Amino acid sequence: TMPSIFSYQSAEVDWCEGNFERSAVIAEYYNTVNRTTLFSLFIPLNFLVLEGAGQSLFPAGIFSTYFHMTLSYVGQLLDELSILWTLAAAYSFWYPQVYFPKFIKSRKHFLWLTGITTLISTLMSFVKPALNAYALNCIAFHLLYLMWRELKKCDDKRVHRTATAMVVWWVLAISSWISDRWLCGLWQAINFPYFHSFWHILIAMSLLYCCPLVIYFDVSYEMPSFKPKIRYWPSDSWFAVVPYVALEKPYKQC
């Protein structure tokens, strides 16, 4: 008989960490605890960096924790689809209008295009769920391409510093994800199968730098009377900082 889609370990994906080694109810202990801790820590940072928009990251954190706890088929789909719909929301509201396809004439039309594309992608995700994570990671290359195009038009050193940090954290993150996925036998042989936990931390750090950049460029396009500035908390001189966007007073345009 087919296992229940809610059953433990009914998912198509199983990460490298051993299952039920430290708890009888948590499949991947470190992936679950790590995700729960990060989710709790990044709640205030989400509001600091993206204000109300940070709430779109909440379901992804909750569903990811549920997935690693149960390794269920439903948990896997909820985890992946929450990320897909969060990305869709980000594209819908913050994708620069200058990059719209030529046949799209307004933000409203773009919302429809994004919605239809997301709906189709959602239905396709049920065909082969094991491929969903690879497809979602590929979206990062489009985001990096857009960032590169924007950086070519920007000479603000703080923006470039923030973008460089974002890319470095992302490279470390995707390297950890690929290592856990493709080199699991090696890590299990040396009793260190925790690279997916590193992925959680590193991709969160990359998002911490990505979000202010999205805000910066959105303000540049949508609020031309303001001049956005990247600031760092608690200090510019610190190695690890929380970047945020400050708006200078409106200035008169000729």
Q: Binding site: which residues?
A: 14-15, 17, 19, 28, 68, 196, 200
16-50 as b/e, with b when 16 or more CB fall inside 10 Å?
bbeeeeeeeebbbbbbbbbbbebbeebeebbebbb
Euclidean distance between CA atoms 39 and 134, whole angstroms: 22
- Is the distance from CB of 121 to CB of 84 less than 8 angstroms? yes
Binding-site residue ranges for Ca(2+): 14-15, 17, 19, 28
Alpha carbon distances (Å) from 142 to 46, 179, 218: 23, 22, 17
Give helix 195-222 / helix 29-50 axis angle, nearest 10°. 10
- Is the distance from CB of 229 to CB of 248 less than 8 angstroms? yes
For residue 136, the number of C-alpha atoms closer than 13 Å in the C-beta half-sphere is 21
Binding-site residue ranges for Zn(2+): 68, 196, 200
Sign of the dihedral defined by the CA atoms of residues 126, 111, 166, 34, in that order: negative
